[in-house]
Amino acid sequence: MKRREFLKKTGISAAAVASATIAAPTVWAKEKTYQWKMVTTWPPNLPILQTGAERFAKRVEIATNGRIKIHVFAAGELVPALEVFDAVSSGTVEVGSGAGYYWAGKVPAAQWFSAVPFGFNPQGINSWFYSGGGLELWEETYAPFNLVPRPQGNTGVQMGGWFRKQMNTIDDFKGLKMRIPGLGGKVVAKAGGTVVLLPGGEIFTSLERGVIDATEWVGPLHDLRMGFYQAAKYYYYPGWHEPSTCLEVIFNKKVYDDLPADLKTILDAIAMETNLWSLSEFEASNGAALQELITKHKVELVRFPEELLNKLRVMAEEVLEEEANKDAMSRKVHEAYKTFKKQVGIWGTVADKAYFDLIADKYSLKA
C-alpha cells in the first residue's frame, strides 16, 4: 500500500505513523523514481529480439514496483538502429538494446562480445561472460564510451544462410554476392565474395531478383517469417559465422552508476534472466519452424561440406588476427577469448558433444 493511500484509509496523522514506524520491524524508504527511454536496433515486434527488450522493461518495472519505468522504442521510432550506441553514450536516452557488431566501426573490440566465427557456442559464451572474466572485459571496452553493457539475449547457433546455388567448394564463394554482416562478412570477403549490406526490409526482394545470390538472417523461426524459402532453394547449416550471437542491453554509465545497489542488482538479474529466456525461446521455436520449412515448403537442408568449412575456419582465424591488430583493446579481448575457449574446449567435447553424438540419431532431418 502506498503511503498516501494508507494515510487516507486510516485517517491517522503522518507524524503518528512515522513515530510508530521507528519501533516497528518495517522499513520506510524515500525512493526516487526513474522514467527512462530505451532505444533498440530491432524492428517493431521482431520476435524474441524486440519482444525480449520489451519483456526486460516490463519485468524491471514489476520488480522495482514502478521505481524504474522504461519506455521502449524500436529502431527508427526515436533514433535509427545504428545510432543507438551514440544515443545512450551521450545520455540522450538512458538505455539501449542491440548487438556489439553494430558498433564495430567505432569499437572494433565490441565484435567479440556479439558473434565470432567458429567461436563459442551459447553455453561457452555465457560461461566466459559470467565466470571467465568476459563481462569485465566488455565493461572495460565500453567504459570510455560512458556505457555499461550486459548480455541480454542469445540467438543460439544460427543457420548458415540461404543460397540460390549449391556451395560445394570454397571457390563457390568467388564472386558470390551475399548479405552477411560482421566478422562473418569479412571472412566471406576474404574467400572472394562480395559482401552486400541491406536493411532487413530489402533482403527478400534482392534475393528473389538475383541482386544477391545468398543471405543469412537468424534461424528457422525468423527465416520462415521472412519467406526466404520462396527466393532461394538451399538452406545451409551450421552457422559457422554466428554460433552464439549475443544481444546486449547498454546503460548510460552515469545513469547506471548513480543507482542504489538494489536497483543495479535488479537490472543485472533481469538482464541475465532475459538472456536465458531468449535462448530458451529460440530453442523452443526453431525446431517446429525448421520442420515446417522442410515438410511444407520443401526446402533443401544442406550441411556445408567439411572441406569448405575447414577453409573458412582458416580464413576466420586470419580475419580475427587482423581485427585484433586494430587496437590494444581488441588484441586484449581476442587473447582472453582464445585462452578461455581453450580452457573449456576439452570439457565441451567430453560432455556436451559426446552426449549429442549419443542422442542425435533419434532425430531425423527429414519429415
Task: Provide, rounded to whole angstroms, the least separation between the CB of residue 235 and a copy of itself.
Answer: 10
Task: Provide, rounded to whole angstroms, the least separation between the CB of residue 122 and a copy of itself.
Answer: 7
Task: Provide, rounded to whole angstroms, the least separation between the CB of residue 342 and a copy of itself.
Answer: 8
- The answer to whether residues 183 and 116 touch, using CB atoms and an 8 Å cutoff, is yes
- The answer to whether residues 173 and 157 touch, using CB atoms and an 8 Å cutoff, is no
Q: Could you give the count of Cα atoms lying within 13 Å of 19 in the half-sphere of its Cβ? A: 4
Q: Which residues contact 252 (CB under 8 A, 6 or more apart)?
A: 88, 89, 91, 93, 94, 95, 146, 147, 148
Task: Provide, rounded to whole angstroms, the least separation between the CB of residue 268 and a copy of itself.
Answer: 8
* CB-nearer residue toward a copy of itself: 81 or 308: 308
Task: Provide, rounded to whole angstroms, the least separation between the CB of residue 8 and a copy of itself.
Answer: 10
* CB-nearer residue toward a copy of itself: 71 or 313: 313
- The answer to whether residues 195 and 320 touch, using CB atoms and an 8 Å cutoff, is no
Nearest to 169 by CA among 299, 309, 317: 309
Q: What does the alpha-carbon distance between residue 226 and residue 242 come to, in Å, rounded to a whole number?
A: 19
Cell readout for 53 is 527488450
Q: What does the alpha-carbon distance between residue 160 and residue 186 come to, in Å, rounded to a whole number?
A: 15
Task: Provide, rounded to whole angstroms, the least separation between the CB of residue 340 and a copy of itself.
Answer: 8
* CB-nearer residue toward a copy of itself: 124 or 185: 124
Task: Provide, rounded to whole angstroms, the least separation between the CB of residue 132 and a copy of itself.
Answer: 5
Asked if residue 220 has a cis previous peptide bond (ω within 30° of 0), the answer is: no
Q: What does the alpha-carbon distance between residue 166 and residue 144 come to, in Å, rounded to a whole number?
A: 45
* CB-nearer residue toward a copy of itself: 197 or 358: 358
- The answer to whether residues 123 and 210 touch, using CB atoms and an 8 Å cutoff, is no
Q: Which residues contact 134 (CB under 8 A, 6 or more apart)?
A: 113, 125, 128, 336, 337, 340
* CB-nearer residue toward a copy of itself: 111 or 286: 286
Task: Provide, rounded to whole angstroms, the least separation between the CB of residue 35 and a copy of itself.
Answer: 8
- Residue 90: count other Cβ atoms within 10 Å of its Cβ: 12
* CB-nearer residue toward a copy of itself: 78 or 279: 279
State which H helix or E strand residue 254 sits in. Answer: helix 253-257
* CB-nearer residue toward a copy of itself: 151 or 185: 151
Task: Provide, rounded to whole angstroms, the least separation between the CB of residue 39 and a copy of itself.
Answer: 23
**Residue 19 CB burial class (10 angstroms; 0-12, 13-18, ≥19):** exposed
Q: What is the dihedral of CA 73, 50, 208, 244, to 10 degrees?
A: 130
* CB-nearer residue toward a copy of itself: 40 or 275: 275
* CB-nearer residue toward a copy of itself: 8 or 106: 8
* CB-nearer residue toward a copy of itself: 193 or 243: 243
Cell readout for 150 is 550486459
Task: Provide, rounded to whole angstroms, the least separation between the CB of residue 183 and a copy of itself.
Answer: 16
